Amino acid sequence: MFTVPSIDQVAGRSRWIQLVDANPQVREMALGEEVEIDWISTDGKTVGGILVKPVGYVEGNRYPLIVAIHGGPASAAVLRFNGGYGAQVYAGAGYAVLKPNYRGSRNYGNAHRTDIVGDYFTLGFDDIMTGVDHLIAEGIVDGDRMGALGWSAGGHWSNWILTHTDRFKAISSGAGTMNWISMYAQSDVQRNRQYYIGGDFLYKNFEPYWDQSPLKYIANAKTPTMIHVVERDPRVPSPQSVELHMALKKLGVPTELFMYPGRSHGIPDPRNRLVKAVSEMAWMDHYVRGIGDKFEWRDVLETLEKKDRWCAVQQVVIGLLVMPAADGGRCSSSNAGGGGG
């Protein structure tokens, strides 16, 4: 629990005064400073977000950037501990992290949230890219070393970024759509799709759904892209990720598909969340910073308890990589930890 001397200082995390110390062990961690920032988008509107500075940040130095795009889209990045897909882990490795509250996000009024209705991607994409340009102009970010990642709606925007710019060196797309037409029938939600695309009933007007599908523009893709999805995700079903993976393979774009056991929209078990986190950072390190070997299983195995190291399961099915859930030391390859989560 925190307080601030005055309401106008809420956006500056460094001005918060701690009242309760529920996790004293955090004091032993080197954390990047988190601040709320804003910038002007292409249409003149002010857009906000969270910047996590790298640990040991020195003003005047330029740092590699991770753009961590929240899902929803009616959600928001806020000042919180290690939000944005492990932002503090990236900060500890020397990255700056931008968590943009692009058009479609909540917390900025209803107009900001609904501005994307009828044209799902354009304004949000402009908001994200102008946020990146703002950090470059401020001398914080090296524009030649940038990666983007997201899950759900954040995966949708990652796929749109993939097909609309080559400014990023690496992308990680989590549970993102590629084709609004095919996803309409695959997903457990149709009303929201129709609302955001503009209200037209799919089966009477396919055109707006296709025009707003990243797949329509996939021939533009050039950025090495890692793909993550839960095998039986009901919300953004895994065939969307398979469509992306197949397209990139055929186009000769470096790609890997990680499909996790389960029936939920998010990765249900900690072991596989670890796989995603470790492999994703290795992907960014390799392509954004030119270090490391993309992803090696030993990087994950070394983080596990010794008794479990030799029980790690590696399945390869269309690039599928699976780690078992904790099960008393037994090895398993079927729906480990998938449950009904």
Which tokens hold the place of 8?
Answer: 């106008």
From 183, 151, 150, select the one nearest 168 (Cα to Cα).
Answer: 150
Cβ(144)–Cβ(136) under 8 Å? no
Q: Hey, is 168 helix, strand or coil?
A: coil
> Do you know the residue count of the chain?
341
Of the listed 173, 265, 279, 286, which one is catalytic?
Answer: 265
Of the listed 41, 105, 152, 158, which one is catalytic?
Answer: 152
Number of Cβ within a 10 Å radius of residue 3: 10
Q: To 5 degrees, how large is the angle CA 113–CA 215–CA 247?
A: 140
DSSP, res 325: P
Which tokens hold the place of 129?
Answer: 């890219």
Q: Backbone phi, then psi, for 326, in 5-degree steps?
A: -65, 125
Is 14 an active-site residue? no
Cβ(300)–Cβ(274) under 8 Å? yes
What SS3 string covers 146-208? EEEEEECHHHHHHHHHHHHCCCCCEEEEECCCCCHHHHHHHCCCCHHHHHHHCCCCHHHCCHH
What positions carry a catalytic annotation? Answer: 152, 265
